[in-house]
Amino acid sequence: MVLNEEELKQLIGCPKWKKHRILIALLYSAGLRIGEASRLEQRDIDMQRMTIHIRKSKYNKDRIVPLSHYLKKGLLDYYAQVCPIKYVFNGQASASALSVRAIQYIVRQTVKETGIQKPITTHTFRHTYATHLLEQGLDIITVRDLLGHEDITTTMKYLHVAQLDRSQKHSPLDRLYRWKND
């Protein structure tokens, strides 16, 4: 299941609470797993270097993903409004993390409010992130690293879903010599 750009815009723009909009944008823009979003701390977001450090993810590995300029602006506004203490998304107690169940609920409610009929879960945003990166020309090894996959075959499943531009088929020899039709 992959979302198109219009569906993503609807889902990101739908929630009335800034916290929920930022959460959904973050799930997509960084390809986060639900637990990674739940445990994300403010210290993990480097606004200067424009990176997000995902700590102790699956297989107990760390990884770094780019921070979207759009998301940076949203996070700064959100921080000023909410003043979270440790985690990017506080739970009911201000020093606790937002639970996985709460994130699932936020996504379910947002999907319901948009009226989108696809079976969307939090993981749909991760699939969409990977697919869009491939469609935009990023190589499979970099996508694997951004997703934190141990095995490249896990990442390769996105190649089957991605709508890659195959219209520019060519022989590499033509590019080597910049062949011109005479």
Number of Cβ atoms within 10 Å of the Cβ of 59? 8
Residues labelled catalytic: 33, 58, 123, 126, 149, 158
Evaluate whether 131 touches 158 at the Cβ level (below 8 Å): yes
Evaluate whether 119 touches 128 at the Cβ level (below 8 Å): no
Residue appearing with tokens 């219209």:
167
Evaluate whether 158 touches 143 at the Cβ level (below 8 Å): yes
Dihedral, CA atoms, 102, 97, 19, 81, nearest 10 degrees? 150
Q: How far apart are CA 11 and CA 5, in angstroms?
A: 10
